[in-house]
Structure 1
Amino acid sequence: MTTNTDVPSPLQEPAIAEILASDSALDLLLARLKHSVKACDEFANYLKRKQNYEENYARDVKRAVTSCKSSIKSNTSISKGSFVESLDKIISFDDRILVDVRSPYSKALEKMQDELTSVSATFVRLRKQLKEEGHKREKEVQDAINQAEKSKNRYYSLCNDLERLRQSDQSQKKITLQGRKTGSQQEEELVRKINAADQDYNAKANASQKLKNELVNTHRPRISKKLQDLILELDTALQLQLQKYAAYNESFVVGLGNQVAPLGANHSSMATVAASVNPEQNLYNYLKGSRVEKKHYFVPVEYKKHPLFKSEPPAQFRVPATPSVSNNVSKLDPPLATTNNSVSQPVGSPSFMPVPEPPISSPVNYSTLDPTRSPALSVSPSPAGLAGPRPISTEMRNNSSSITNPTTPAYSGLLFGQPIESLPHDEEMVPLFVKKCINLIETYGSNSEGIYRSSPNKLKLEEIKYAIDQDPSDLSILDPPDPSNVSDDYVYMIASLLKVFFAELPDPLLTKEQSGNFFKAGQIEDAATMHIQLHRIVFELPDANYFTLRDLLFHFIHLSQIPRVRMSVKNLSIVWFNNLLVNEYTTRDELAVQQRVVEELINAAPEIFNPKED
Structure 2
Amino acid sequence: MAEPTVGEIPSSKQLLQTPQISQILNSESTLDVLLARLKTGILSCEKFSKFLKKKIQLEQHSSMELKKNSTRTIEAIGLFRNTDTLMKNLKFIISLDQEIGKDVYDPYVSSLTKIANDVQSLQDGFKRLRKSIKDEAYKREQDYKDANQAYGKATKRVRDLREELSKIRNGDPSGRRFTRRTRTGAHAEDETASKLRDAELECSRLKDRAEKLIKDLTLIHRPKTNERLKNLILELDSAVSLELEKYATFTEASIMRMGRIVLPVDESKSMMTSAVSIDNEKDLYNHLVSNSKGGRKPASAIGSAPGSRQASASSIEPPVPVISLPVATATPSTPIPTTPSHSSQLRAAEVVPQTALSSAGDDKEIAAMPVYSSLDPASSSPTPQATNANMWGPRPLDPDASTIPASPVPSVGNVSNVSTHTAVPASTNHGSVGTVQGVYGVPLETLCSISQSGVPDFVMICIELLEKYGLTVEGIYRKSANKSKVDSLRDKINANPAQTREILTPADPQNVEDDVYAISTLLKSFFASLPEKLIPAVFKPHLEKLASEPTDEEFVASSQKFVDSLPDPQYFTLEDLLKHLRQVSLLKDRNRMTAMNLGTVWGLNILDYDPSQPEVATSLAKLIEFAPQIYPSVDQ
TM range (shorter): 0.5 to 0.7
Counterpart of 2:177 in structure 1 is 171
Deviation (angstroms), 1:217 = 2.2
Q: What does the per-residue CA deviation read over 1:13-49, in whole Å, with 9 as the maximum and x for residues that have no partner?
A: 7876665444442233223222222222332332333
2:441 alignment partner, one of 412, 418, 421: 412
Which of 14-23 and 205-214 deviates more?
Answer: 14-23
Q: Determine what percentage of the aligned residue pairs are the same residue.
A: 30
Deviation (angstroms), 1:248 = 3.4
Which of 134-143 and 560-569 deviates more?
Answer: 560-569
Q: What does the per-residue CA deviation read over 1:452-506, in whole Å, with 9 as the maximum and x for residues that have no partner?
A: 5555666676777789999999997899779996956666667667766777778
Counterpart of 1:108 in structure 2 is 111
Contact 2:49 2:116 in 1 (8 A): yes
Counterpart of 2:36 in structure 1 is 31
What letter corresponds to residue 198 of structure 1 in structure 2?
E
Give distance in 2, aligned partners of 1:595 and 1:322.
68
Counterpart of 1:91 in structure 2 is 94
Q: 1:510 to 1:92 in 2, by over 3 A?
A: closer
What letter corresponds to residue 252 of structure 1 in structure 2?
S
Contact 1:105 1:252 in 2 (8 A): yes
Alignment of 1:278 onto 2:284: no
Q: Which runs of 5+ in 1 are unaligned?
A: 301-320, 326-331, 340-346, 357-392, 404-408
What letter corresponds to residue 89 of structure 1 in structure 2?
F
Give distance in 1, aligned partners of 2:632 and 2:163.
72
What pairs up with 1:210-229 in 2 under 5 angstroms? 210-229=212-231
Q: 1:287 to 1:568 in 2, by over 3 A?
A: closer
Give distance in 2, aligned partners of 1:577 and 1:324.
61
Give distance in 2, aligned partners of 1:398 and 1:420.
8
Q: 1:30 to 1:603 in 2, by over 3 A?
A: farther
Give distance in 2, aligned partners of 1:600 and 1:430.
22
Give distance in 2, aligned partners of 1:492 and 1:441.
9
What letter corresponds to residue 36 of structure 2 in structure 1?
A
Q: 1:154 to 1:421 in 2, by over 3 A?
A: farther
Higher relative contact order (CA 8 A, sep 6+): 1
Q: What is the aligned-residue RMSD (CA, Å)? A: 5.7
Give distance in 1, aligned partners of 2:81 and 2:529.
35
Contact 2:475 2:591 in 1 (8 A): yes
Q: What does the per-residue CA deviation read over 1:359-413, in whole Å, with 9 as the maximum and x for residues that have no partner?
A: xxxxxxxxxxxxxxxxxxxxxxxxxxxxxxxxxx98899957966xxxxx9x323
Give distance in 2, aligned partners of 1:597 and 1:204.
71
Q: What does the per-residue CA deviation read over 1:243-267, in whole Å, with 9 as the maximum and x for residues that have no partner?
A: 34334333433443443344x3353
What letter corresponds to residue 564 of structure 2 in structure 1?
D
Give distance in 2, aligned partners of 1:121 and 1:562.
45
Q: 1:13 to 1:580 in 2, by over 3 A?
A: farther
Q: 1:229 to 1:399 in 2, by over 3 A?
A: closer
Counterpart of 1:267 in structure 2 is 268
Deviation (angstroms), 1:6 = 3.8
Q: 1:139 to 1:568 in 2, by over 3 A?
A: farther
Deviation (angstroms), 1:200 = 1.5
Deviation (angstroms), 1:64 = 3.5
Which of 41-50 and 291-300 deviates more?
Answer: 291-300
Give distance in 1, aligned partners of 2:141 and 2:516.
71
Contact 1:162 1:190 in 2 (8 A): yes
Counterpart of 1:342 in structure 2 is none
Counterpart of 2:370 in structure 1 is none
- The number of residues matched between the two structures is 517
Q: 1:227 to 1:275 in 2, by over 3 A?
A: same
Deviation (angstroms), 1:226 = 1.8
What letter corresponds to residue 50 of structure 2 in structure 1?
N
Q: 1:348 to 1:198 in 2, by over 3 A?
A: closer
Deviation (angstroms), 1:441 = 6.9
Deviation (angstroms), 1:210 = 1.8
Q: What does the per-residue CA deviation read over 1:498-546, in whole Å, with 9 as the maximum and x for residues that have no partner?
A: 7667777788788756655765886x8xxx9465774675364131669
Give distance in 1, aligned partners of 2:583 and 2:627.
9
The TM-score normalised by the length of structure 2 is 0.61
Counterpart of 2:68 in structure 1 is 63
Give distance in 2, aligned partners of 1:190 and 1:489.
107
Counterpart of 1:48 in structure 2 is 53
Give distance in 2, aligned partners of 1:496 and 1:239.
63
Give distance in 1, aligned partners of 2:38 and 2:116.
20
Q: Which runs of 5+ in 2 are unaligned?
A: 1-6, 304-337, 343-377, 386-392, 403-427
Contact 1:141 1:208 in 2 (8 A): yes
Which of 276-285 and 437-446 deviates more?
Answer: 437-446
Counterpart of 1:538 in structure 2 is 559
Deviation (angstroms), 1:292 = 3.2
Q: 1:19 to 1:254 in 2, by over 3 A?
A: same
Deviation (angstroms), 1:215 = 1.6
Contact 1:48 1:110 in 2 (8 A): yes
Q: 1:98 to 1:199 in 2, by over 3 A?
A: same
What pairs up with 1:391-470 in 2 under 5 angstroms? 411-413=440-442, 415=444, 448-449=473-474, 453-454=478-479
Q: 1:147 to 1:476 in 2, by over 3 A?
A: farther
Deviation (angstroms), 1:205 = 2.6
Q: 1:442 to 1:21 in 2, by over 3 A?
A: farther
